């Protein structure tokens, strides 16, 4: 899965929600990005895929249910009890409701104009997962890479940037192009380290992202070659040897 695709889906849903209010409130401009400049690379180790055939089978079933927007089929893939929904204020899951009801609330599956089903389909495409820190036995996807936290914090401070401006290559030696085109001149290759992403207001191609390389130069890489960190996550647990959706981290509006 391209996690930047997932971020784009979330952003689109947010914009749809704000559209109705735009006629009454003045639009707020996002803070300007810090200028491009050289930075010290921080190495990353990409997360590993889960090779369990049962886990792969579940992901396929989730993808099929998401494509058809089949809530009944999805419900059979979610734990009946014990679903958790971790947000900033703690577990927001309503323990009186079923797992599918809580998942639907977390993703906004009842909103016909929302992006919940598309987000679910994107989660189903991701073969990675990492242990949930606060829920024993649960794993969550997409998994974040392994990296030196203090070094990354120092990088953010030195460049005066936010974590949302950074991603990492899905593999080493990703080609950097001078233009957002597959046949654009190759100006370098990325190592397995964090790379700064500088999105354009009106990109010439959604298939490419504008980035800043460690030497401070801008270039373009394919959108599906860079993954951000800190995404919302879909979580899974095993029940009697069978994988099921067991929780969600992030997302949702309201209390």
* CB-based contacts of 196, cutoff 8 Å, min separation 6: 36, 39, 159, 161, 165, 166, 211, 212
Q: Given a cut of 50, is residue 7 above it in pLDDT?
A: no
Question: In the prediction, which pLDDT does 134 show?
Answer: 87
Question: In the prediction, which pLDDT does 206 show?
Answer: 87
How large is the average pLDDT for residues 226-243? 90
Question: In the prediction, which pLDDT does 53 show?
Answer: 94
* CB-based contacts of 98, cutoff 8 Å, min separation 6: 75, 78, 80, 81, 83
Are the C-beta atoms of residues 214 and 41 closer than 8 Å to each other?
yes
Return the number of other C-beta atoms located less than 10 Å from residue 97's C-beta.
13
Q: How far is CA 250 from CA 25, 36, 43, 105, in A?
A: 27, 30, 26, 11
- Domains of the chain with CATH codes: 53-144+230-249 (3.10.450), 165-229 (2.30.30.40)
Question: Highest mean pLDDT: which of 9-13, 23-27, 104-108, 133-137?
Answer: 104-108
Tens-place pLDDT, residues 63-79: 999 999 999 999 999 99
């Amino acid at each position: 899965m391209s996690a930047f695709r997932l971020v784009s889906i979330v952003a689109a849903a947010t914009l749809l929600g704000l559209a109705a209010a735009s006629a009454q409130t003045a639009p707020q401009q996002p803070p300007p990005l810090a200028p491009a400049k050289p930075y010290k690379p921080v190495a990353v180790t990409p997360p590993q895929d889960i090779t369990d055939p049962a886990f792969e089978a579940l992901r396929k079933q989730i993808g099929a249910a998401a494509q058809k927007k089949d809530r009944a089929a999805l419900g059979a893939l979610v734990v009946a009890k014990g679903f958790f929904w971790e947000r900033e204020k703690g577990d927001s899951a309503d323990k009186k409701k079923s797992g599918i009801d809580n998942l639907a609330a977390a993703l906004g599956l009842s909103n016909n104009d929302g992006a919940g089903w598309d987000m679910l389909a994107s989660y189903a495409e991701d073969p990675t997962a990492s242990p949930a820190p606060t829920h024993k036995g649960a794993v969550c996807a997409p998994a974040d890479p392994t990296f030196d936290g203090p070094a990354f914090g120092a990088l953010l401070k030195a460049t005066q940037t936010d974590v949302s401006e950074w991603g990492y290559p899905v593999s080493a030696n990703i080609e950097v192009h001078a233009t957002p085109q597959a046949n654009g001149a190759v100006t370098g290759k990325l190592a397995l380290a964090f790379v700064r992403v500088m999105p354009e207001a009106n990109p010439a191609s959604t298939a490419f992202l504008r980035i800043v390389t460690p030497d401070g130069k801008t270039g373009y890489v394919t959108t599906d070659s860079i993954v951000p960190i800190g995404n919302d996550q879909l979580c899974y647990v095993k029940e009697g040897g069978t994988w099921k959706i067991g929780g969600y981290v992030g997302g949702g509006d309201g209390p």
